[in-house]
Structure 1
């Protein structure tokens, strides 16, 4: 739920924040009420005050990341507060190890400063007062957040700092990301015995065990994403849109679906394997039907027939739509001779475009910024092929099981 903007950065609240609020108000409210000899209502009000103060601290932590990122020209899409804290979503990665290091450490630095201020306030305030109790809890929570986030493993801030250092030394961002990701998984596994020890010495209560288990699980899964992305990054040089895009076969608007499919298959079968197709008919360079990387000689006529995308053109020969293969496949064969291709096509205006010479890094950025099932691959103003996201996914993650 979007709740507004802070310094121009959109602020969102995840529904899980309600669970955090209830837990703190009930558990901490009762503890504070007993310690300060307040009524149950008074204790819950103190708990609510702590929730607001804690969320404010987390917001300032994330603003540290966001404003530092903007200082170095990295756009910030938003800040989200949730059950286990919050996260800042940026529109691209840091351009250098130095920027990555500064952005990652900005959040813990803010938490450390807030913790120090809260410690000073705790020492200055009278003991066993509401203000003193809130200051103490803010000091403890901010110091814990600063120390925990600086641990060297992704997705924690310390993991990003570790990645930046390894990146600077090795000049290999992808390898650095994978190392920092596995360091995060080591931290996740190490959380279990640490929690057991803290519970055994009465540092943690029984009620804290489920939350710490959730933290460990979140760490494990959070580390998995950068590991996956680092492996994808290593394969980005293999992305060649001229070969990866499926060939586009042009048919006039109003053509029956069955006739369009027949023409595309016939043209692909008759097309020479190594020859270039006429621009107004079939553009070669599709990924093989088995999803592997195309070979140096290009796909066979049968493979092109299997993968050819149908491009719908107007009376002047201009492309106006692309047939959705899933929608076309869902049409019963008996109806295809009577159904125009337009009925199962998407307007080209609705499809993102990719210049045919776009490199792998830029292709991935474009796909992440504009998710879609199909992309128009263009050379100047001409459509030279259709990139299917499934083909790109198979190239970048050949061992990952996917729905086709």
Structure 2
């Protein structure tokens, strides 16, 4: 994604290793929640003044952001080693993510980039644990270092679970990808594993405490439900996208088009009516260079007085085709999607292998075919 052409996803903090880092507005929400939740808990300790308790709560929120930032930077820098394009990092309500531009990945590279994040958190946890061994740390530094250790262990371990959208899901995705030759089949398999993890998250945060006869903490329940909802929505989007991509090769322009034939743009309405009587189908007008430039509009055609049909230009009853709105009859869904992105028109002239116009294809039919929805 280009920073020059896309709206910034948040407040830009700068660059790390050449990778832009942004802070989403939603980050302030989770920071406030963490600050208050930890502040309330620490203020119950007689050794910690209330103001200090909330300052420590805010420091813990910053510590989590730091752990997430290192996690995402590890993704981005590893991706750069594999020449993945246009990375940027966004710190958000749910932690953070690293966004890349369009590219073709390989199973091994995808797995390496994914696992770099959890590995970095385990390294941070180890370094923080070593720092805890230093003498005379003091109460507050000790509390923060302990929190940093557990935050990194939790972040690393949770993200290493083998289901998308978690990093560990790339392990399942890469395995199925290698086995089947299809990344999208791997994505579907790993996303279903992710859904089972969602069920496990809800069970752990809500069901297990009840089974133990305990009352779940409100904050714990809210965090558990938020994580579960986020993961379920993410897996749904991943599965739908993968199914669409698997369907693209089966979508062929010739199967979606309406029959059509070409006439020179100098033709009259009388010529059009004669062609329709003899051959039927849609009429596509072509310019002197043979390029499709318009489609005869049925409603406009019906309003022409038959007595004056020979004097009315066919262009007068046509709707314009966008420049370059031509697709080959054997184009599949992947090529058609490229046309949607590159040509600003809702209709396309379809030509056969000889360059003859044989049909008219509407954008809505392409979208319906690739998404599985009715046009």
Q: Normalised by the size of structure 2, how large is the TM-score?
A: 0.73
1:178 and 2:152 correspond: no
Can you list the C-alpha shifts for 1:328-367, whole angstroms capped at 9, x where unaligned? 99x9x99xx9xx989x979649x9x978776544555x47
Between structure 1 and structure 2, the one with the greater Rg is: 2
Per the alignment, residue 3 of structure 1 pairs with 11
Structure-2 separation of matches of 1:108 and 1:371: 42
Partner SS, residue 207 of structure 1? helix
> Judging changes above 3 Å, is the alpha-carbon distance between structure 1 residues 317 and 158 closer, same or farther for their aligned structure 2 residues?
same
Q: What are the ranges of 5 or more consecutive residues in structure 2 without an aligned counterpart?
A: 1-8, 304-311
Can you list the C-alpha shifts for 1:166-210, whole angstroms capped at 9, x where unaligned? 221232333222211111111112222222355345696232101
Per the alignment, residue 236 of structure 2 pairs with 224
* 1:346-385 → structure 2 map (5 Å cutoff): 348=323, 360-361=333-334, 363-364=336-337, 366=338, 374=346
Per the alignment, residue 278 of structure 1 pairs with none
Contact kept? 1:322, 1:345, Cα under 8 Å: yes
Moved more, 132-141 or 366-375: 366-375
Structure-2 separation of matches of 1:120 and 1:238: 57
1:117 and 2:117 correspond: no
Q: Normalised by the size of structure 1, how large is the TM-score?
A: 0.68
Contact kept? 1:185, 1:220, Cα under 8 Å: yes
> Judging changes above 3 Å, is the alpha-carbon distance between structure 1 residues 361 and 320 closer, same or farther for their aligned structure 2 residues?
closer
Structure-2 separation of matches of 1:389 and 1:125: 69
Residue of structure 1 aligned with 2:370, choices 375, 381, 396: 396
> Judging changes above 3 Å, is the alpha-carbon distance between structure 1 residues 318 and 227 closer, same or farther for their aligned structure 2 residues?
closer
Contact kept? 1:36, 1:128, Cα under 8 Å: no
- Root-mean-square deviation (Å): 4.4
Deviation at 1:396, TM superposition (A): 2.2
Per the alignment, residue 3 of structure 2 pairs with none
* 1:203-218 → structure 2 map (5 Å cutoff): 205-218=217-230
Per the alignment, residue 32 of structure 2 pairs with 22
Structure-1 separation of matches of 2:34 and 2:92: 14
Q: What are the ranges of 5 or more consecutive residues in structure 1 without an aligned counterpart?
A: 254-258, 273-300
Aligned residue-pair number: 348
Contact kept? 1:101, 1:165, Cα under 8 Å: no
1:133 and 2:143 correspond: yes
> Judging changes above 3 Å, is the alpha-carbon distance between structure 1 residues 18 and 388 closer, same or farther for their aligned structure 2 residues?
farther
Structure-1 separation of matches of 2:36 and 2:198: 28
1:236 and 2:248 correspond: yes
Deviation at 1:84, TM superposition (A): 1.3
Contact kept? 2:322, 2:345, Cα under 8 Å: no
Deviation at 1:147, TM superposition (A): 0.6
